[in-house]
Amino acid sequence: MRIIDQHVHSEFSFDSIESIENYLKVSDSPIITTEHADFECFCMNGGDTAFDYDEYAEQVEELNKRYDNRVLKGVELGYTERVKDRLLEFIDKREFDLILLSVHENDEVDYMDSMDRNSFREILPGYYENIIKSVVDFHHVVDVVAHMDFVLRNKEYEMEDVFEQESLIKSALEIIIKYDLALELNTRGLYQFKNGRYYDYLFSLYKGLGGKRISIGSDAHRIKDFKLNFDGAIKFVEDRGLDVSNIKF
């Protein structure tokens, strides 16, 4: 079985300079990019990260002519409640093969910022509450809930801090399952940020609640991270009795 990497950024994302064509050159199979669309971000001093869709669609079309229709179109929506209408407007009447739903920040904190254990424990419930809200508001238009380990990155924490939030985490997973969305295994989170214990815990809750579908994505922003450790990630999912739901070819 060969699968598409379902979380990839190119130069259409504000934090990547990799061309889509470079991903095609290292791959003999279909690819998808999932470019950032966040609005009025704390991380951008109130600015947007959203890309020019027309330019993106035009480039994908041009590449598809030269590369045997191997490019699919995707987007990673950065949810905050305040901008949900702008996000819906961004995807409205536009064509995407895959839509990721992410929570990157609240209006005061970028969830990837480093912080001490006390601050981490303070922001954690709000993080899961925002994921729940994001699914309530976007389940009808998205495919995957991305990187539920985002809040753990660059933090000092213990797993006990996460266990304290089990009822909220379960509520988030229940609603993901209810709407049949896939839960992402982000290989950057698993391998670079070493959140294996957390994913193990998260997936055991997910499976216990009846969840099955896992989307694997590298979250690559450059070629060298594309399909990062996918063989290990597929095994990680299958060893836990879950299904890899990625587009297969």
Nearer CB in complex with Zn ion: 10/102: 102
From residue 108, how far is each of 14, 104, 112, 113 by CA, in Å?
A: 20, 11, 12, 11
Chain position whose Cβ is nearest to Zn ion: 102
Provide, rounded to whole angstroms, the least separation between the CB of residue 160 and Zn ion: 26
Do the bridges between strand 71-78 and strand 213-217 make them parallel or antiparallel, or are there none, so unpaired? unpaired
Provide, rounded to whole angstroms, the least separation between the CB of residue 227 and Zn ion: 14
Nearer CB in complex with Zn ion: 145/175: 145
How many residues bind Zn ion (CB under 5 A)? The answer is 3
The residues, any chain, with a CB within 8 Å of residue 241's CB and separated by 6 or more, are 207
Residue whose structure tokens are 């179109």: 73
Nearer CB in complex with Zn ion: 18/219: 219
Provide, rounded to whole angstroms, the least separation between the CB of residue 147 and Zn ion: 6
Nearer CB in complex with Zn ion: 63/100: 100
Nearer CB in complex with Zn ion: 219/225: 219
How buried is residue 177: exposed, middle or buried, by Cβ count under 10 Å (0-12/13-18/19+)? middle
Residues between 197 and 226 that touch Zn ion (CB under 5 A): 219
Which DSSP string do the residues of 134-203 spell out, in sequence order? HHHHHTTT-SEE--TTGGGTTB---HHHHHTTHHHHHHHHHHHHHTTPEEEEEHIIIIIS--HHHHHHHH
Residues between 62 and 101 that touch Zn ion (CB under 5 A): 76
When binding is defined by CB under 5 A, the residue of 102, 186, 187, 195 that contacts Zn ion is 102
| Contact residues for Zn ion, defined by CB under 5 A | 76, 102, 219
